[in-house]
Amino acid sequence: MASPLLEMYPNRGLSFVRGEGAHLVTRDGTRYLDLMTNYGAAMFGHGHPIIVAALRDQIDRLTSLHGSFGSDVRARASMALAERVPIAGASLAWVNSGAEAVEAALKFAAAASGRHRFVAFRDGYHGKTLGALAVTWAPRYRETLAPLLIAHRTVAFGDHEAVAETVGDQTAAVIVEPVQGESGVRIPPEGFLREVRRVCTERGVLLIVDEIQTGGGRTGWFTECERQGVEPDVICLGKGLAGGVPVGITAVSPAIASRLPRGLHTSTFGGNPVAAAGVLAALSLLTAERLAHVRETGARFVADLRAAADSSIVAVRGRGLMIGVQVQPARRDAILKALQRDKVLAIPAGEDVIRLLPPITIGWDDLALGVEVVPRAAAAVTAAAG
């Protein structure tokens, strides 16, 4: 019988029945090193005992509760998050995914500013719902649905002067990723985010920072904003923030919160007790020692990949455990398949990048396997291509 699922994803020809730490396991017991973590959502790997215990305990108590009722676990998770996000006196909206967090951010910026135009960046990615898609760059995602509903201008990533030239008196906000993940782990010049903040402040424009992939410890800081000393007006979080349970958070400044009417953005499942319990467990694991481990291990991983690479690898770049291995565009997919044959899972980014998003709890022995296998796969595919 044919599957009733719509074919919206590439078929990688694998099925998994369980996860153990940095590994996924097939029905026959074959183990694969997971260097993709469900596009970053399994931030703490699979089956982490603290995450599992927190989720199991909450499932036994209460799984779903509308936001019109009080929830002790939601209240505690909200307070814990408000203390970690880089916005003083932040207020939070709970949703279920990163794209929903961006949708809320765009609505909040428009409602608070009274303006309806946005500035986004080339090669940026913010999700595939209609609002988020409007400020996402890739034509392959947009062209079927154009024209989209939100007016925006797009400027070069890393060019703060272009931002200054583009924002105007009808601009509600600039939306930016500190590191562009989907387009190839593209890292802007140091100080770029601070300069965008300065421009927005001088022009009276809001700054939305999309930390759905970079946030929650992925880069070795709770947020990249924190590392760079930038306080946005709105920040979006998601991915692994609840230990693998669906979650999205849009946090806003007090000035924005005071201008938002009740009911502007709600969600039946937003802030459900299970997601809130996952957030509390995840935050308990994001200690200073853990974040230092991410920074140090990520730097070593990048350095060793560079040292092991030959001419089949164009560049290796990364921040913490968010790493991009740039290869020849025509060979990217073949290298991903070669890695999978070697029982290592990675994902594509942009046209020519192998993206690696290991669990932030990963040990060096597992990363050392990546250092061995990734350059070997790239070299083998390049040699076969002649």
Check whether 1 has a pLDDT greater than 80: no
Assess contact for 246 and 276: CB atoms under 8 A.
Answer: no
Q: Whose CA is closest to 134, among 122, 119, 124, 149?
A: 149
Tell me what the mean pLDDT of segment 305-321 comes to. 96
Residue at 1 is within a domain: no
Assess contact for 22 and 358: CB atoms under 8 A.
Answer: yes
268 plus 303 within the same structural domain: no
Q: Whose CA is closest to 90, among 277, 225, 185?
A: 225
80 plus 177 within the same structural domain: yes
pLDDT score, position 311: 93
Q: pLDDT (tens digit, 9 = 90+) per residue, 25-79? A: 999 999 999 999 999 999 999 999 999 999 999 999 999 999 999 999 999 999 9
Q: Say whether 24 sits in a helix, a strand or coil.
A: strand
pLDDT score, position 147: 78
User: Which of 107-121, 132-146, 230-244 is predicted least confidently?
Assistant: 132-146
Assess contact for 219 and 179: CB atoms under 8 A.
Answer: yes
The domain that holds 238 is classified in CATH as 3.40.640.10
pLDDT score, position 239: 97
Pick the last residue of a domain from 285, 317, 342.
285
Check whether 151 has a pLDDT greater than 80: no
288 class by beta-carbon count within 10 Å (0-12 exposed, 13-18 middle, 19+ buried): exposed
Check whether 365 has a pLDDT greater than 90: yes
The domain that holds 380 is classified in CATH as 3.90.1150.10
CA–CA gap between residue 123 and residue 161 (Å, rounded): 17
pLDDT score, position 143: 82
Domain containing residue 347 = 18-41+288-385
Q: What totals of helices (H) and strands (E) does the chain contain, helices first?
A: 14, 15
Assess contact for 362 and 321: CB atoms under 8 A.
Answer: yes
Please give the structure tokens belonging to residue 344. 């290592």
Pick the last residue of a domain from 285, 302, 329.
285
Mean pLDDT of all residues belonging to the chain: 96
pLDDT score, position 132: 87
251 plus 299 within the same structural domain: no
Check whether 149 has a pLDDT greater than 80: no
User: Which of 22-36, 74-88, 121-135, 139-153 is predicted least confidently?
Assistant: 139-153
H or E stretch at 367: helix 364-385
pTM to 2 decimal places: 0.96
Residue at 8 is within a domain: no
In order of 35, 317, 384, the CA distances from 313 in angstroms are: 18, 11, 15
Q: What secondary structure letter does DSSP report for 122? A: T
Quickly state the pLDDT bin for 386 (edges 50, 70, 90): confident
Dihedral sign from CA coordinates of 184, 190, 192, 198? positive
pLDDT score, position 385: 86
Assess contact for 177 and 196: CB atoms under 8 A.
Answer: no
Q: What secondary structure letter does DSSP report for 171? A: E
Please give the structure tokens belonging to residue 52. 């599992």
Tell me what the mean pLDDT of segment 191-195 comes to. 97
43 class by beta-carbon count within 10 Å (0-12 exposed, 13-18 middle, 19+ buried): buried
Q: For the chain, how many structural domains are there in total?
A: 2
Please give the structure tokens belonging to residue 359. 């669990």
Residue given tokens 């929830």 in the structure block: 71
62 class by beta-carbon count within 10 Å (0-12 exposed, 13-18 middle, 19+ buried): middle
Pick the last residue of a domain from 266, 285, 304.
285
pLDDT score, position 14: 96
Straight-line distance from the first to the last Cα atom of the chain, in angstroms, rounded to the nearest whole number: 42
pLDDT score, position 231: 98
168 plus 251 within the same structural domain: yes
Please give the structure tokens belonging to residue 347. 């994902």
101 plus 161 within the same structural domain: yes
Check whether 152 has a pLDDT greater than 90: no
pLDDT score, position 71: 97
280 plus 338 within the same structural domain: no
Q: Say whether 173 sits in a helix, a strand or coil.
A: strand
Check whether 148 has a pLDDT greater than 80: no
Please give the structure tokens belonging to residue 357. 């998003």
Percent of the chain, pLDDT > 90? Answer: 90
Q: Say whether 313 sits in a helix, a strand or coil.
A: strand
346 plus 367 within the same structural domain: yes
User: Which of 146-160, 266-280, 306-320, 362-376 is predicted least confidently?
Assistant: 146-160
Check whether 144 has a pLDDT greater than 90: no
Tell me what the mean pLDDT of segment 333-347 comes to. 97
Tell me what the mean pLDDT of segment 123-128 comes to. 90
Max CA separation in the chain (angstroms): 64
Q: How many alpha carbons fall within 13 Å on the CB side of residue 80?
A: 21
Percent of the chain, pLDDT > 70? Answer: 100
